[in-house]
Amino acid sequence: MASTVKLLFCFLLMISFLSLFPFSSSAKQHPLDPLTPAEFNLVKIIVKRAYRLVPHNITFQYVGLDEPEKQAVFLWQSNPARIPHRRARVVTRLNKQTHDIIVDISTRSVFSDKIYQGNGFPLLTVEEQEAATELVLGYGPFKASMKKRGLNISDVVCSTSTVGWFGEKKSKRVLKIPCFYTEGTVNMYLRPIEGITIVVDLDEIKISEYHDREIAPIPKPEPTEYRLSHMKPPFGPRMNNAATVTANGPGFTLDGHTIKWANWNLHVGFDARIGTVISMASIYDLEKHKYRRVMYRGYISELFVPYMDPSEGWYYSTYFDNGEFGLGLSAVPLEPLNDCPANAVFMDGYYAGQDGSPLKSRNAICIFERHSGDIMWRHTEAEMPGHVREVRPEVSLVVRMVATVGNYDYILDWEFKPSGSIKMGMEKLRLESGKIPESRPSKMWQIGRTCNVGLTGVLEVKPVTYTNVDQIKEDAHGTLVAENTIGVFHDHFLNYYLDLDIDGDANSFVKTNLVTKRNTEAKTPRKSYWTVERETAKTEFDARIVLDSKPVEFSLVNPNKKTKLGNNVGYRLVPGFAASPLLTADDYPQIRAAFTNYNVWVTPYNKSEKWAAGDHVDQSRGDDDLLTWTNRNRAIENKDIVLWYTMGFHHVTCQEDFPVMPTLRAGFELRPTNFFEYNPVLKVIPPKHVTWPNCTAKP
């Protein structure tokens, strides 16, 4: 009886404690706003309350907004009094099982709780990765291996690597631990310690396997320096100073997470797994005097990086950066004047730690106007007296985030233009051991750079005995980029989730083929011309596209809306640099990364289909992903549809990539096509030209 009274008292105390938290939903809160710190705390309490009688610790692997149904959001937009329920999606580990939980924040209760029975494990937490590396550094046999190699354990830094899936019937939740030697350099990834296999069991929190297979050479530290303060003459050319300055402050307004800029209105969110989320992007039409819908939701769904060395120490290096490590979890604070220009506004992000408590990602996102130095449009009437000339400079809005995943930084940009175009892009920059690099000179800021995908950073390298290519007699799986150093070949594939609602949610996917025709008219000497033949995709199979050299354009149109001239309103996909996978279809990493099989996919909107590689990606088996969903071959014509776009790079390494590679860039664009009645930036008023005295920007 006493125990029952005690439980009842604890329950009433918990209810009383919950009442201290303010009701999270309000008329001012956008339904797609990311969870607030108070909501993270509330979710933590609700989940722990549900498992209060369970004697084992529960870990929070992922906590994020469980977005409302689309129609509920649009109803709220038209009537803010109709507030959708605030819910959170929570993935936990408990008793070596994965729980998928939906918490209703509005009612402060668990809405649903399902034990995941499928293959694969959830997102890794930062805390369990740190615990795994600490285990290794304090492990006796590992210390002995370092002593045998003559290495100082205080100069050893370890990281974490997922193990993938290679046909095992049963999988344990484990990590492999690669280690590096930092004596003489901060560029630790160029000094790997090879020949040791270390496996850590995350459920048991112990080292489950340890093999010291061989002693491999460690590349020298001397040629790896990249910090300006540590370099010696002669130096390269000095870049002239440049600055981005706006006379009247930001040209946009930020109300919570909603941005209004020029003719755009959009919502910016943050998520532990996918980082930046763009929602409800609409553009104002001067002709129609209203905002028109373009994109309901957009984000990077997955980032796949497989390495091309099948040897014992490398074969498992096939990373899914979103589903295994989390782009949002990997977000780093952006540095004013270096990561973002002087006119940028910063936004913090929040995510749940392993215990469910909210953690702040400071300055996770920056928003700024880009004065690129490019031309929006121009024309000179050279044949007219006085030479009539009109020109408008290109100004755009950029939303940027940087995620450090292992030895690379991904600089992720979304760029919005007054013309209605949306450009998706990324740069990749290497940071030293996950730390913020030394500040670059604040006087120098690059302007005029387009928004695209760029690759730079430090290679993943393999130590070898070779000092000259003439010594290599077998496939080295990479290029000799320095003495004793092979830069291993690899790929980068990014998949974008683009829920486009072009002037409404009933859209169709159209392929416009450019075909050559013979001229059958006898009246002129022309022998040929080209024209277009359009195909509307009926089902998902029709919309699976591998980009090649064929002249074809792709667009999403609203077949229910037409311009005054009778054209279907639409948006065109303008592909950039694209690549297709070169692994065989039966190779295990390719089975898991089947979203790379095609560059373009189209699916009917389904709230549960969010991530191209599936829900639980660590050691997944390719049985719940974009390929599986589209194999149903569902109807997609005149439906609420989602465009998935996969872009990629095959990286054939070279000496210029060492020790830090110059940036390789590419990108893609969504561009209005018969969406407007005429050029939407025809009446744009150019900015005033302001003359500034010479000055030095202070850091």
pLDDT digits (tens, 9 = 90+) for 335-369: 998 889 989 999 999 999 999 999 999 999 999 99
- Read off the pLDDT of each residue in 573-588 and give the average, rounded to a whole number: 92
Tokens standing for 468?
């000259």
Instruction: With CA atoms as reference, report the closest residue to 405 among 90, 124, 65, 128.
Output: 124
Q: Report the DSSP pairing between strands 252-255 and 258-261.
A: antiparallel
- With a CB cutoff of 8 Å and minimum separation 6, the contacts of 62 are 89, 90, 91, 122, 123, 272, 273, 326, 352
The pLDDT of residue 245 is 60
Q: Report the DSSP pairing between strands 290-306 and 490-500.
A: antiparallel
What pairs with residue 295 in β-bridges?
A: 281, 500
- 10 Å CB burial of residue 246 (0-12, 13-18, 19+) is middle
Q: Which residue type does 646 have?
A: T
State which H helix or E strand residue 305 sits in: strand 290-306
Distance, CA of 581 to CA of 304 (rounded, Å): 11
- With a CB cutoff of 8 Å and minimum separation 6, the contacts of 439 are 335, 338, 699
- Read off the pLDDT of each residue in 587-607 and give the average, rounded to a whole number: 98
No. of H helices and E strands in the chain? 7, 34
Instruction: With CA atoms as reference, report the closest residue to 479 among 652, 338, 329, 606.
Output: 652
Residue 180: is its pLDDT beyond 70?
yes
Please tell me which of 311-320, 403-412, 445-454 the model is most confident about, judged by mean pLDDT.
Answer: 311-320
Distance, CA of 479 to CA of 652 (rounded, Å): 8
Tokens standing for 62?
């992922």
Q: Which residue type does 177 have?
A: I
Instruction: With CA atoms as reference, report the closest residue to 264 among 289, 285, 249.
Output: 285
Q: What is the mean pLDDT of the chain?
A: 89
- Residue-wise pLDDT tens digits, 392-447: 999 999 999 988 888 777 888 999 999 999 998 755 444 333 333 333 333 223 33
Q: Long-range pairs for 427-431 at CB < 8 Å and ≥24 separation?
A: 427/453, 427/454, 427/455, 427/456, 427/663, 427/665, 428/454, 428/455, 428/456, 428/457, 428/492, 428/663, 429/402, 429/456, 429/457, 430/189, 430/456, 430/457, 430/458, 430/660, 431/332, 431/404, 431/407
- With a CB cutoff of 8 Å and minimum separation 6, the contacts of 156 are 137, 146, 179, 180, 181, 182, 193
- Tabulate helix, strand, coil % of the chain (nearest 5): 15, 40, 45
Residues identified as active-site: 321, 408
The pLDDT of residue 576 is 82
Q: How far is CA 492 from CA 319, 577, 599, 623, 668, in A?
A: 10, 12, 13, 22, 15
Identify the DSSP state of 635: B
Question: What percent of the chain lies above the pLDDT cut of 90?
Answer: 75
Distance, CA of 372 to CA of 244 (rounded, Å): 9
Q: How far is CA 565 from CA 190, 569, 678, in A?
A: 60, 11, 11
Distance, CA of 252 to CA of 367 (rounded, Å): 9
Instruction: With CA atoms as reference, report the closest residue to 271 among 341, 339, 323, 202.
Output: 323
- Read off the pLDDT of each residue in 113-118 and give the average, rounded to a whole number: 96
Angle at 468 between CA 464 and CA 470, to 5 degrees: 110
Q: How many CA atoms lie within 13 A of 95 on its CB side?
A: 6
Supply φ then ψ for residue 655, to 5 degrees.
-65, -30
Where residue 150 falls (left for φ over 0; alpha for ψ -120 to 50; beta otherwise) is left
* Banded pLDDT at 244 (limits 50, 70, 90): low
Residue 626: is its pLDDT beyond 60?
yes
Distance, CA of 133 to CA of 131 (rounded, Å): 6
Distance, CA of 396 to CA of 82 (rounded, Å): 34
Supply φ then ψ for residue 627, to 5 degrees.
-65, -45
Give the max Cα distance, the chain.
Answer: 104
Candidate from 39-43, 242-246, 252-256, 627-631 with smallest mean pLDDT: 242-246
Omega before residue 234 within 30° of 0, cis = yes
Q: How far is CA 301 from CA 428, 493, 615, in A?
A: 17, 11, 11
Q: How far is CA 251 from CA 153, 286, 289, in A?
A: 53, 19, 21
Residue 536: is its pLDDT beyond 90?
yes
Distance, CA of 427 to CA of 661 (rounded, Å): 12
Q: Which residue type does 686 have?
A: P
Distance, CA of 39 to CA of 558 (rounded, Å): 38
The pLDDT of residue 389 is 86
- Residue-wise pLDDT tens digits, 294-307: 999 999 999 999 99
What pairs with residue 496 in β-bridges?
A: 300, 645
Tokens standing for 192?
């790997």
Residue pair 364/348 in contact (Cβ under 8 Å)? The answer is: yes
pTM of the model: 0.91
Tokens standing for 284?
């104002």
Identify the DSSP state of 615: S
Distance, CA of 480 to CA of 466 (rounded, Å): 8
Omega before residue 659 within 30° of 0, cis = yes
Q: How far is CA 613 from CA 232, 280, 491, 603, in A?
A: 46, 24, 16, 14
Residue 22: is its pLDDT beyond 60?
no
Residue 458: is its pLDDT beyond 90?
no
Tokens standing for 107?
């009612």
Question: For residue 545, how far is the Cα from the chain centroid?
Answer: 22
Instruction: With CA atoms as reference, report the closest residue to 351 among 460, 273, 253.
Output: 273
226 vs 535, more confident: 535
How long is the chain?
Answer: 699
What pairs with residue 410 in β-bridges?
A: 403, 428
Residue 333: is its pLDDT beyond 70?
yes
Q: Report the DSSP pairing between strands 453-457 and 422-429.
A: parallel
Distance, CA of 553 to CA of 530 (rounded, Å): 14
Residue with tokens 């003559």: 150
User: How far from each other are the two terminal CA atoms of the chain, in whole angstroms?
Assistant: 67
Candidate from 174-183, 426-435, 581-590, 677-686 with smallest mean pLDDT: 426-435
Q: Which residue type does 446 have?
A: Q
Question: What percent of the chain lies above the pLDDT cut of 70?
Answer: 89
Residue with tokens 């120490």: 313
Residue pair 200/208 in contact (Cβ under 8 Å)? The answer is: yes
* Banded pLDDT at 247 (limits 50, 70, 90): low
Question: Which domains, ranges and CATH numbers included, belong to the chain?
Answer: 37-115 (3.10.450.40), 126-227 (3.10.450.40), 252-428+450-673 (2.70.98.20)
The pLDDT of residue 325 is 97
